[in-house]
Amino acid sequence: MKIKKEKDVKVQDFFCEFDFKFALFTNNHVLNELNIEIDKTIHLECLEKSFFGSLYNIVPKEIKIADKRKVFTNEELDYTCIELFESDDILDYFKIDSNIFKYDKNNLKDNDIFILQFPNGNLSFSYGKILSLKDNEINHNASTEGGSSGSPIIRRNKENNIIGLHYGGIKNKYNLATRFDSILYNIKEQNNEIICIYIIDKNETEINLLHDYNEDLPYWDKNNKKIYLDAKNNILEMKENIEIYVNDKKIKFDFKYKIKESKELKVKIKFRKLLSNISYMFYKCSSLN
């Protein structure tokens, strides 16, 4: 899948906070925290068009989970997203519809769709319509086979954009898919955080988690103009809009942290909203790895 970025598409403003352009999507019940750990390798069977146009070849691929590869997963929405690099050599992909955040039950109901499936190693297509649209869910009547979890729901039009991710069904009634706009909003929420690792020296009893702004420090804006932080307001904004977690436990906001017995601290800085400036945020944090 490729995230579409074009100057005339408003959705670009939403995606500008993401560093990745390509991603692998499947269900959380297929891939989750248990099998997407760092250094694990995911084995894929990718469908790629052959030289004969409409024919497809099955090509084995391996995706290694590494620190630099972004991974997002959510059990409630039943999706997992793994960043792909151009070096992964994934040739075929679907684009997300640039109007996906404008979808509602009025402009999607009764739309023609198709679902691309690969159960038991066999490629198949199924056609149907969208029956209804709920908060995070698409109900559709395209027939599916066992083993089709994670299949893309594709709107049948000129662009053939992906609009949902199939995850199950209610027998003899309808099939279920997660709306892709809900998935993207959830990724955006998870993306508003920084993960830091602090390595503790044996003699340290206290470390700087963040820089304690005690003066108006200089920084350079996007026009390379030197300006100064308003230190007091900057600290206030941080206190109001940052949550700090040490080894997955939320702590009271502070710039310093007293060491107990840990040799290494995993610190998550979560933003309730984007701050106006984070210059010098980790200045003089000598334990930060």
Percent of the chain predicted with pLDDT > 90: 15
Higher pLDDT among residues 34 and 105, named by residue? 34
Closest CA to 4 of 15, 72, 86: 15
As a whole number of angstroms, the longest Cα–Cα distance in the chain is 67
For the chain, give the mean pLDDT: 80
The structure tokens listed for 74 are 């959510």
Gap between the Cα atoms of 194 and 209, Å rounded = 12
- Name the least confident of 57-71, 79-93, 145-159: 57-71
Gap between the Cα atoms of 173 and 47, Å rounded = 30
> What are the angstrom distances between the C-alpha of 61 and each of 89, 150, 186?
9, 17, 27
Q: What is the pLDDT of residue 19?
A: 59
Q: What is the pLDDT of residue 27?
A: 93
DSSP helix/strand/coil, 190: helix
Q: Is the pLDDT of residue 205 over 50?
A: yes
> What are the angstrom distances between the C-alpha of 269 and each of 15, 163, 200, 258?
21, 32, 18, 17
Fold of the CATH domain 100-184: Thrombin, subunit H (2.40.10)
Q: What is the pLDDT of residues 16-46, one digit of tens each?
A: 445 577 889 999 999 887 777 777 888 887 7
Q: What is the pLDDT of residue 257?
A: 92
Q: Which residue has the tokens 């470390």?
A: 207
129 pLDDT band, cuts 50/70/90, is: very high
10 Å Cβ neighbour count for 150?
21
Q: Is the pLDDT of residue 183 over 80?
A: yes
Q: What is the pLDDT of residues 61-86, one digit of tens each?
A: 888 887 678 888 889 999 999 888 88
Q: What is the pLDDT of residue 3?
A: 36
DSSP helix/strand/coil, 232: helix
Q: Is the pLDDT of residue 13 over 50?
A: no
- Domain locations along the chain: 12-91, 100-184, 193-271
